[in-house]
């Protein structure tokens, strides 16, 4: 039964403008169709929805009386009293959408409850006619000329192409969230999506055909599909969350999602995921935002850790599928020659994390896996491509990027040196660096910082003179380091602490050139230092290790 909500209830439900443009109309209408129990929904647009929007469903439909009341303000069949919103299984409950759409368009609703069948016409909120009209069980809603009577808002609609794109984005969310419902979506007679009833997997492939490797996952509160870390976008449009079936945009969820991938992704890479979070209704507040796009959990930690755990578990499947082959012949022939037929891909150990405490979390787990005492890095050590050292551990095979490791060690040392009073070396012949106007200005502005870091700098007409430098920095690197530091300063304001990091960073990067030879003794020393100091990433957050556990190897060779 559709009824008008008492004023006391209306005032307690966060209300908002539900009709923003064609996309929000489509969203509201499709939600209503789903709420009506439809398993087939058709969406059609003309002119990106600006001239015409149709949503047709085969749900339970409405009787004549229901039709009339449905388009009034705050009428809903979905709740009676405020508390009902906590055990809601429908999208709607505010009873706002139909009346709001009716007020700003020419609206035709044709509906059949299976017993009777009617057509209601409303223009700008006024009922024009209601008459018997044939329709199969279900409802068709047609919205003509959205905002025809609100020119100010009509003017703000974007081009048909943009409006249509926004509708498509909404439709994609429904395609992903309701595989059990067949969805046909057309614009100007062109079929954009025809999603037949199917599985989430099929829907995922339909919306993200570019993703070739993905897996389903299931935790306590969370389930869904995530892509292999090799498939990613440069933004987060491939990460879609539903809480209790509702699409939500929530910064925390994005970040929790990527924490789950941890070691497996680098900055700027955002893997795909369609994630459903379903929790007991009393633990979530859906009534926070009028667009219902944000949610509040009453037990966020529990949910976040479930997401992380479930993703961690799920991405293992990608890792163990990766193939790597060590050519046995060349292995014996020469320890320095190493052939991989395929990229050695495995658990990259631990992600870029500047956050110390977070890192120590990881460190412990890492050391549990790779108890340093048990690593025999003395004998079984292989240098690959003048870049990597391969060695055996108790629990698996490790590959260390020794440039990155070297960089990290140097970086730590430089930073430590900067923390003490910097011991400067006075130069008999100052180092001259050519400098333009803005370059000089930046140096001038940061002069006290440079001084405190042990660089004594004098600004001349067309150049700067470096009179003294920290003792622990290679002289030949000074111009490059200062140049790089200025480049960074040009991009954004930096504190002296940040400047210190930048200089340490540049200094160690410049000191470690790729392609240099490393002796076995040096490699051993490096591995030991890295393990002793519990270092996991290079100064830029790249991992130092790659590991394939023996379990993964056994799995690959089908020995388990």
Cβ contact 37:59 at 8 Å: yes
Q: Which is nearer to ligand ADP, 3 or 534 (CB)?
A: 3
Do residues 293 and 247 touch, judged by C-beta distance below 8 A? yes
Of 98 and 303, nearer to ligand ADP (C-beta) is 98
Q: By CB under 5 A, tell whether 92 contacts Mg ion.
A: yes
How many residues bind ligand ADP, per CB under 6 A? 25
Closest distance of CB 178 from Mg ion, Å? 15
* Pair of tokens at residue 552: 């993964």
Q: How far is the CB of 92 from Mg ion (least distance, A)?
A: 3
Do the Cβ atoms of 177 and 245 come closer than 8 Å? yes
| Out of 18, 85, 97, 489, the residue judged to bind Mg ion by CB under 5 A | 97
- Geometric angle at alpha carbon 453, from 447 and 455, rounded to 5°: 60
Rounded Cα gap, residues 295 and 221, in angstroms: 15
Q: What is the DSSP letter of 213?
A: -
* Residues 294 and 270: beta-carbon distance below 8 Å: no
Shortest distance, position 492 Cβ to ligand ADP, whole Å: 46
Token code pair at residue 525 = 């020393």
| Distance (Å, whole) CA 336 – CA 237 | 44
Choice between 32 and 113, CB closer to Mg ion: 32
Residue 110 in the binding site for ligand ADP (CB under 6 A): no
Task: Name which position in 33, 187, 228, 353 contacts ligand ADP (CB under 6 A).
Answer: 33
> Which alpha helices (DSSP H) does 242-327 contain, by range?
251-261, 300-321
Region of 89-97, 348-356, 378-386, 452-460 interacting with Mg ion (CB under 5 A):
89-97
Stretch that binds Mg ion, among 93-101, 178-186, 344-352, 426-434 (CB under 5 A): 93-101
- Which range binds ligand ADP by CB under 6 A, 71-79, 219-227, 401-409, 540-548? 71-79
32 binds Mg ion (CB under 5 A): yes
- Under the binding rule (CB under 6 A), the answer on residue 61 touching ligand ADP is yes
Burial level of 19, CB count in 10 A (0-12/13-18/19+)? buried
82 vs 85: CA distance, rounded Å: 6
Of 422, 424, 435, 410, the C-alpha closest to 489 is 435
- Helix, strand or coil for residue 41? strand
Partner that binds at residue 78, options ligand ADP, Mg ion, none, CB closer than 5 to 8 Å by kind: ligand ADP
Identified binder of ligand ADP from the candidate list 44, 57, 401, 505, rule CB under 6 A: 57
Q: How far is the CB of 170 from ligand ADP (least distance, A)?
A: 15
Residues linked to residue 56 through DSSP beta bridges, in sequence order: 42, 140
| Piece in contact with Mg ion (CB under 5 A), picked from 26-34, 177-185, 495-503, 550-558 | 26-34
Closest to Mg ion by CB, 92 vs 219, is: 92
Give least dist CB 37 to ligand ADP, A.
Answer: 8
Q: Are strands 40-46 and 182-187 parallel, antiparallel or unpaired?
A: parallel
- Residue 57 binds which entry of Mg ion, ligand ADP, none, CB below 5-8 Å type-dependent: ligand ADP
CA distance 431 to 479: 8
Tell me which residue has tokens 């050695």: 344
- 25 interacts with ligand ADP by CB under 6 A: no
Q: Which H helix or E strand runs over 99? A: helix 97-103
Question: Which residue is nearest to ligand ADP, using beta carbons?
Answer: 92
Closest by CA to 295, choosing from 241, 240, 222, 259, is 241
> Interface mask (CB under 6 A) for ligand ADP, residues 73-102, using x and -?
--xxxx-------------xxxxxxxx---
Burial class (CB in 10 A: 0-12, 13-18, 19+), 159: exposed
59 or 219: whose CB is closer to ligand ADP? 59
Smaller CB distance to ligand ADP: residue 243 or 518? 243
According to the binding rule CB under 6 A, does residue 377 interact with ligand ADP?
no
Selected range binding Mg ion among 97-105, 142-150, 153-161, 334-342, rule: CB under 5 A: 97-105
238 near Mg ion, judged by CB under 5 A: no
Closest among 243, 239, 224, 223 to 292, alpha carbons compared:
243
Rounded CA-CA distance 401/409 in Å is 12
Q: To the nearest whole angstrom, how small is the minimum distance from the Cβ of residue 30 to Mg ion?
A: 10
> Which residues of the shown chain bind ligand ADP in the complex (CB under 6 A)?
2, 28, 32-33, 35-36, 57, 59-62, 70, 75-78, 92-99, 139
> Which residues of the shown chain bind Mg ion in the complex (CB under 5 A)?
32, 92, 97
């Amino acid at each position: 039964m559709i009824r008008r909500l008492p004023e006391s209830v209306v005032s307690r439900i966060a209300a908002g403008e539900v009709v923003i443009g064609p996309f929000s109309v489509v969203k509201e209408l499709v939600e209503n169709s789903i709420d009506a129990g439809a398993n087939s929904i058709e969406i059609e647009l003309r002119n990106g929805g600006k001239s015409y929007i149709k949503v047709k469903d085969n749900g339970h439909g409405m009787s004549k009386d229901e039709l009339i009341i449905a388009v009034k303000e705050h009428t809903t069949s979905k709740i009676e009293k405020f508390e009902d919103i906590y055990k809601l299984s429908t999208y709607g409950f505010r009873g706002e959408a139909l009346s709001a759409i009716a007020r700003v368009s020419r609206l035709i609703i044709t509906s059949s409850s299976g017993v009777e069948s009617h057509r209601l016409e409303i223009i700008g909120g006024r009922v024009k006619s209601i008459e018997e009209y044939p329709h199969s069980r279900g409802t068709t809603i047609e919205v003509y000329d959205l905002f025809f009577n609100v020119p100010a808002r009509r003017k703000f609609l974007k081009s048909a192409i943009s409006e249509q794109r926004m509708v498509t984005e909404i439709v994609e969310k429904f395609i992903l969230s309701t595989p059990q419902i067949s969805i046909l979506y057309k614009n100007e007679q062109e079929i954009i999506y025809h999603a037949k009833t199917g599985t989430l997997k099929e829907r995922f492939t339909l919306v993200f055909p570019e993703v070739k490797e993905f897996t389903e996952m299931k935790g306590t509160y969370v389930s869904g599909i995530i892509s292999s870390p090799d498939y990613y976008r440069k933004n987060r449009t491939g990460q879609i969350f539903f809480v209790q079936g509702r699409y939500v945009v929530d910064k925390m969820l994005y970040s929790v999602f990527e924490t789950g991938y941890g070691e497996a992704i680098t900055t700027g890479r955002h893997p795909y995921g369609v994630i459903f979070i379903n929790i007991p209704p009393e633990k979530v507040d859906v009534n926070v935002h009028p667009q219902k796009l944000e949610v509040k959990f009453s037990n966020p930690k529990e949910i976040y850790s479930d997401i992380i755990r479930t993703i961690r578990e799920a991405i293992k499947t990608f890792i163990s599928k990766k193939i790597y082959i060590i050519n046995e012949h060349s292995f014996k022939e020469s320890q320095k020659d190493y052939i991989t037929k395929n990229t050695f891909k495995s658990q990259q150990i631990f992600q870029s994390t500047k956050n110390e405490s977070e890192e120590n979390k990881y460190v412990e787990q890492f050391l549990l896996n790779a108890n340093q005492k048990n690593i025999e890095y003395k004998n079984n050590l292989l240098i690959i491509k003048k870049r990597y050292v391969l060695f055996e551990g108790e629990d698996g095979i490790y590959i260390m990027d020794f440039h990155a490791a070297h960089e990290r060690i140097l970086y730590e040392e430089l930073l430590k040196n900067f923390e003490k009073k910097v011991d400067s070396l006075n130069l008999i012949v100052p180092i001259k660096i050519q400098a333009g106007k803005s370059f000089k200005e930046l140096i001038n502005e940061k002069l006290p910082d440079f001084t405190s870091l042990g660089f004594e700098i004098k600004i001349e007409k067309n150049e700067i003179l470096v009179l003294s430098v920290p003792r622990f920095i290679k002289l030949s690197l000074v111009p490059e380091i200062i140049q790089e530091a200025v480049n960074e300063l040009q991009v954004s304001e930096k504190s002296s602490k940040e400047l210190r990091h930048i200089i340490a960073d540049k200094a160690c990067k410049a000191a470690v050139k790729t392609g240099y030879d490393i002796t076995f003794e040096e490699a051993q020393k490096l591995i030991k230092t890295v393990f002793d100091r519990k270092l996991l990433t290079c100064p830029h957050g790249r991992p130092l290790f790659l590991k394939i556990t023996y379990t993964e190897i056994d799995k690959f060779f089908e020995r388990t």
